[in-house]
Amino acid sequence: MVMNEKKEKMEKIKKTIINEEYEFPKLFTNFVERDYGILYHNIKNINSYDSNHAVIFPEKISNLTRVLNEISIFYSKNLRQNANIYHPFVENYFIENARILKLCKYQLTINLDSRIMLLTEDNKIKKSKKLEIKHIRKWDKNINDDINKISGKEKYLQKVIKNSMKENNFLFIGYFMEEPVSLLSFHVSKHGCTRFDEIKTIEKHRNNGYAREMVSFAVEFHRKEKLPIAYQWPANSTSERITTEAGFRVAFTIPLGHANHINF
């Protein structure tokens, strides 16, 4: 009985996270909702895949050919570019529908599954207090300048960070000798989970333990505020090592890949 309860709980958490991952780009790009999915688009940031892609919901699709053709027309008309559909979070969906995708002129790329880590253990990072970490609650020119210094004027990151001024969004900036060197943001989703969105340190200040200190601070803040279950994708081995030390553990995987419309 206990095992079944744990399995049911994990399935519920997984569902909330998947729903959030489908909708996360709404924080930083334009979108159109359809009965079969969401079409994200931003002609001002045309080179960003995350800002310009479609997500589809397999359980809501009865005619995949119609959906694929409608998506390709939407992107060619509105953005003058080929459609890019992210792999839905259903194992082997693209592979099982490869024939239809090929007939509709979509080329598949299947990546290794992504590991989702949940904050379930104690934080083992020793406090160093090298940084003065501030919880940013108000946007002004000084904060904008600080973020530009850290982000390198990356449009996607700036939009995500600016959304951190909204309710249930949190932004922290770490200062070393009054200079902004690192930032971290997360938000509480309407689906009932907390997504750790961004952690970034200025390149010249890396390998000083600043990211570890920022993650540790954010984890303690999350627990103190009793926010919903936190999760994140480890961007690389360093990220996974730091977040594991902070209490995150790999809980499950989700499929990754995309299908690009090709004009032959």
180, 174 Cβ separation under 8 angstroms: yes
CATH code of the domain occupying 122-246: 3.40.630.30
Strand partners, 194: 188, 230
Q: What is the pLDDT of residue 6?
A: 84
pLDDT over 70, % of the chain: 94
Could you tell me the two tokens for 181?
A: 């060197």
Beta bridge partners of 84: 260
User: How confident is the model at residue 128, as a pLDDT?
Assistant: 83
Domain ranges of the chain: 2-113+255-261, 122-246
Tell the residue number behind the tokens 């902004």, with chain if given. Answer: 180
Examine the pLDDT at 19 and tell me if it is beyond 90: yes
| Single-letter amino acid code for the residue at 87 | H
Please report the DSSP string for 80-119 in residue order. Answer: SS--EEEPPSSTTHHHHTHHHHHHTTEEEEEEEEEEEEEE
pLDDT range class, residue 113, cuts 50, 70, 90: very high
Residue type, 54: A
In this predicted model, what pLDDT tens digit does every residue of 39-95 receive, in sequence order? 999 988 888 888 999 999 999 999 999 999 999 999 998 888 899 999 999 999 999
Got the DSSP string for 140-175? -HHHHHHHHHHHTS-HHHHHHHHGGGSTTEEEEEEE
Whether the predicted pLDDT of 107 surpasses 60: yes
* 201 — pLDDT class (breaks 50, 70, 90): very high
Tell me the average pLDDT of the chain.
Answer: 91
Q: Between β-strands 169-176 and 248-261, what pairing exists: parallel, antiparallel or unpaired?
A: unpaired
